[in-house]
Chain A
Amino acid sequence: MGKIIAIMLVVLVVGSAYTFVGLGRWFPETIAAHGPAIDAQFRNTLVVVAIAFTLAQLALGYAVVRFGSSGKDARAVYTHGNDKLELVWTAVTAAVFIIVAVLGQRVWASLHLNQAPPDSTRIDAVAQQFQFNFHYAGADGVFGKTEPKFIDDSALNYVGLDPNDTAGKDDVQLTTLVIPQNRPVELTLRSKDVIHSFFVPALRFKQDMVPGMAIKVHFTALKTGKYEIPCAELCGQLHYNMKSFMLVVTGDEYDALTASTGSQFQERFTALQQQYQ
């Protein structure tokens, strides 16, 4: 029986390695400025984990083969432990874990402990059951006032823009997030009803959108294209179907889009959508 367990453990190690590496399913290619750092941290952790995992599983496999009972009269080694060995082992793992833990905060700190650069492109994101709305300041660069009492889904005023506020006259609401390439973007995340989560796998980024809170986050996308934004926090029966798109466009395209209003805006937006299929 020891041999069977050992074989299963070897298969487990090989199978896990194959699953992680051989199947070719990995994170999607990152487009975020901070993405490579997260990927590197993941890879480094994976190396530590893979070594520890393999050693532990194979040691277990070795033990069950090597130390199988050799008969009723055979006696095991009588020992209650080895303090020195335990101390060394504990110290080594503690050191490894602490190093990993400290390194694992770097990207987080760069994203969350710093303010967004002052020249960031600012967009408000407002989630609701089951769609994301994005509120752009328009040509004047000033957001109109919003209040829950002005929300009117049937009039497509999803974010509750105050119709009397002149700053809001040129504001645009889209269900697509359009951001400029290579420029820092600051999103203010809100929710109208329940908790949703803004998640873009290619961005290596996720943040819950919590009703009653306005959470500011920032990142920079380096590659143009169209990326999915699935909702990553259970929000109700159509949670699985709640998604939006993020269009990363060139800086010029973005400037041209936000400078335009009305039907011109619609045309440019439609053109961009077709461009980045």
Chain B
Amino acid sequence: MSSTVQDAVNIKPTRGGEASGSGDFPRGNGGRDGPGDWPPGVSSDDASEPRKYQIGIWVALGSILMLFAALTSALIVRQTPALNGGLKDWISISVPPMMWFNTGVLLLSSVTIEVARRALKHNLYHRFRNWLCVTTALGIVFLVGQVIAWRELAAQGIYINTHPHSSFFYLLTSLHGIHLLGGVLALISVTISALRLRISVRKRLAMGAASVYWHFMDGLWVYLFVLLFFWR
């Protein structure tokens, strides 16, 4: 059991030489080396495939991109009278004020997650933990803010089936929200590990992927905001 205690505070890789410099994990040489080098509780597989989270997240972003690209094309078709039977039924809704606040929150969270990621890279553990908590909190604030924005609109009598713009507004923002919720859940899982002073190699690698995802969600939000309200 003593090893568990040692493991619990072990946030930097113990493998020789890796802690210095960039602090990044060893790039896979494909080697499934002998057991001796790895701290208990860490699978050597995680280190033999250090790029899997990086590759995986970019691949996943590819499919998310396609989803939103498809919906963008649907929006353009729906917005263009010539493509929907000549009916000019596109009534624009104005930006719910709450959404400006939400956008600010999300942009800020992109900064904080970057600070956290760099802190982890340099093994500045407390700094990492604090900024990670801030990011997670900002993510939750954003989601709550979105619910408030929806309620603002609903209070004006604008629902998903009111007109095409409101349909796309609710659809796109909620799909973004679901994806962001996934990111928040991932961050919460890392945060809990961080608070318990237990950040495994796997979590460490996943953190890099999570920040890529988070930035993407941030960029996607800005894109959707522009598409929904400022693009004609």
A adjacent to B, CB under 8 Å: yes
User: Which residues of A line the B interface, CB within 8 A?
Assistant: 212-213
What residues of chain B lie closer than 8 Å to A212, measured between beta carbons? 84-85, 87
A-B contact count (CB 8 A): 4
Question: Whose C-beta in chain B lies nearest to the C-beta of A213?
Answer: B85
Q: Which of the four size classes fits the interface of chain B?
A: under 10
The answer for the CA separation of A213 and B84 in the assembled complex, in Å, is 8
Contacts A/B (CB < 8 Å), 4 sampled: A212-B84, A212-B85, A212-B87, A213-B85
What residues of chain A lie closer than 8 Å to B85, measured between beta carbons? 212-213
The answer for the CA separation of A213 and B82 in the assembled complex, in Å, is 10
What residues of chain A lie closer than 8 Å to B87, measured between beta carbons? 212
What residues of chain B lie closer than 8 Å to A213, measured between beta carbons? 85
Shortest 4 CB-CB distances between A and B: which pairs? A212-B85, A213-B85, A212-B84, A212-B87
**Which residues, 50 to 107 on B, are CB-close (under 8 Å) to A?**
84-85, 87
Interface of B is mostly: loop
The answer for the CA separation of A274 and B228 in the assembled complex, in Å, is 60
Interface of A is mostly: loop
Closest Cβ–Cβ distance, residue B86 to chain A (whole Å): 8
Question: Whose C-beta in chain A lies nearest to the C-beta of B84?
Answer: A212
Contact digits for B10-50, partner A, Cβ 8 Å, 1 yes 0 no = 00000000000000000000000000000000000000000
The answer for the CA separation of A212 and B85 in the assembled complex, in Å, is 5
The answer for the CA separation of A213 and B83 in the assembled complex, in Å, is 9
The answer for the CA separation of A213 and B85 in the assembled complex, in Å, is 5
Closest Cβ–Cβ distance, residue B163 to chain A (whole Å): 17
The answer for the CA separation of A62 and B160 in the assembled complex, in Å, is 64
The answer for the CA separation of A212 and B78 in the assembled complex, in Å, is 13
The answer for the CA separation of A212 and B84 in the assembled complex, in Å, is 7
The answer for the CA separation of A235 and B84 in the assembled complex, in Å, is 20
Closest Cβ–Cβ distance, residue B195 to chain A (whole Å): 56
The answer for the CA separation of A212 and B77 in the assembled complex, in Å, is 14
The answer for the CA separation of A213 and B87 in the assembled complex, in Å, is 11
The answer for the CA separation of A173 and B225 in the assembled complex, in Å, is 50
Closest Cβ–Cβ distance, residue A107 to chain B (whole Å): 27
Question: Whose C-beta in chain A lies nearest to the C-beta of B86?
Answer: A212
The answer for the CA separation of A212 and B82 in the assembled complex, in Å, is 11
Question: Whose C-beta in chain B lies nearest to the C-beta of A210?
Answer: B85
The answer for the CA separation of A213 and B86 in the assembled complex, in Å, is 9
Contact digits for B157-176, partner A, Cβ 8 Å, 1 yes 0 no = 00000000000000000000
Closest Cβ–Cβ distance, residue A196 to chain B (whole Å): 16
Closest Cβ–Cβ distance, residue B143 to chain A (whole Å): 37
What residues of chain A lie closer than 8 Å to B84, measured between beta carbons? 212
The answer for the CA separation of A213 and B77 in the assembled complex, in Å, is 14
The answer for the CA separation of A212 and B83 in the assembled complex, in Å, is 10
Closest Cβ–Cβ distance, residue A130 to chain B (whole Å): 23
The answer for the CA separation of A127 and B94 in the assembled complex, in Å, is 40
Closest Cβ–Cβ distance, residue A126 to chain B (whole Å): 15
